[in-house]
A = this chain, B = another copy of it.
Amino acid sequence: MDQFRALRYFSKVAETGSFTKAAGVFGVPPSSLSRRVADLENSLGATLLKRSTREVKLTEVGQRYYTQVLDILNQLEQSNEAVRSYQAKPMGHLHISSMVGFGERILLPLLDEFSQLYPEIVLDVSLSDELSALSRDDVDLAIRGGYAPNERVLAIKLMGNQFIPVAAPSYLAEMGKPVHAIELKQHKGLYFRTPNGPTPWLSYINAQWQDVSAPQVAVSNNGNWLGDMAAKGKGILMVPRWATAHHLESGKLVELVLEPQVQINQNNDMAVYLLYQKQRYLVPKVKAAVDFLVARVKC
């Protein structure tokens, strides 16, 4: 039995819920699929699909098997793709998904140069703070603030992602410069909205984590706007150092040194990670992009 074919047939039938539709995809008569799937079920000694004339549904085992088979077929396809493109030069679509802030400040400015280096690569960049599934999908490279989701994905730490409190000199002149973390509660706060809600300000005071968030003046998922608000003296903002470097240099914002430290997360080992499937490093376009980004960004 051609197991590979049987698995593709089976998973397509499961996906479409119909032998006829799936047969259409492969350009063969439904009877072929029926026979191959029956062979497969026979070899496993289990019923994978509940058939009726109107719909085809997965059984319980079928559902489990389907999930795994889909994953296996995907991996195989990726491995094949990697080998096929092995000796070709970097080309084709490269889908990069990045956090918005990092994308705007760091990634996009670099990509011009990358495009010139590899003119045959068509860039497709998505900026979003939602964490997209790297695994089964169409994303070649992802840049995220968290850790690797599974062992098939490789994570390279690009840079630290420590959030620091900043404010405009004018704001500090008016409201006073806070020294102890607890004083923040009397200030005005500008907040990032992550997919999990606005990020609180935390500080480790008297052997305990305390929320020292100031009253909200503005909340947004747009870092630029929050930065501008802060520069206008509207409040204090917790922001990654790399995202506000230009404001710090120009003097529009200054870093607040607080005692004890204020963070937005109990573990302060936040970092920006470059994620990709390790089996895809063989694909020239992926390798080119990974190498390029690591060379340019990594501290």
Chain A residues in the interface with B (C-beta under 8 A):
2-5, 41, 43-48, 52, 59-61, 64-65, 68-69, 71-72, 75-76, 78-80, 82-84, 86-87, 92-93, 135-136, 279-283
Contact = CB atoms under 8 A, between A and B. Distances in A.
B135 A46 contact: no
B3 A44 contact: no
A87 B59 CA distance: 12
B47 A281 contact: yes
A60 B280 contact: no
A43 B135 CA distance: 25
Contacts of A59: 283
26 contacts: A44-B80, A44-B84, A45-B87, A45-B281, A46-B86, A46-B87, A46-B281, A46-B283, A47-B279, A47-B280, A47-B281, A47-B283, A48-B83, A60-B92, A60-B93, A60-B283, A61-B83, A61-B86, A61-B283, A65-B79, A68-B75, A68-B82, A69-B79, A71-B75, A72-B72, A75-B75
Contact of A282 (B61, B83, B84, B86): B61
B47 A83 contact: no
B136 A61 contact: no
Nearest to A48: B83
A259 to B, nearest CB: 49
Contacts of A136: 52
Given A4-B2, A82-B64, A44 B76 contact: no
A47 to B, nearest CB: 5
Number of chain copies forming the complex: 2
A150 to B, nearest CB: 13
Nearest to A76: B72
A203 B41 CA distance: 53
Contacts of A68: 75, 78-79, 82, 279
A92 B61 contact: yes
Contacts of A43: 80
Contacts of A78: 68
A10 B108 CA distance: 38
A80 B72 CA distance: 12
Given A4-B3, A45-B281, A72 B65 contact: no
A52 B138 CA distance: 13
Given A4-B3, A46-B86, A64 B282 contact: yes
Interchain residue pairs A-B with the least CB separation, the first 8 = A2-B2, A68-B79, A3-B4, A4-B4, A44-B83, A46-B87, A61-B86, A47-B281
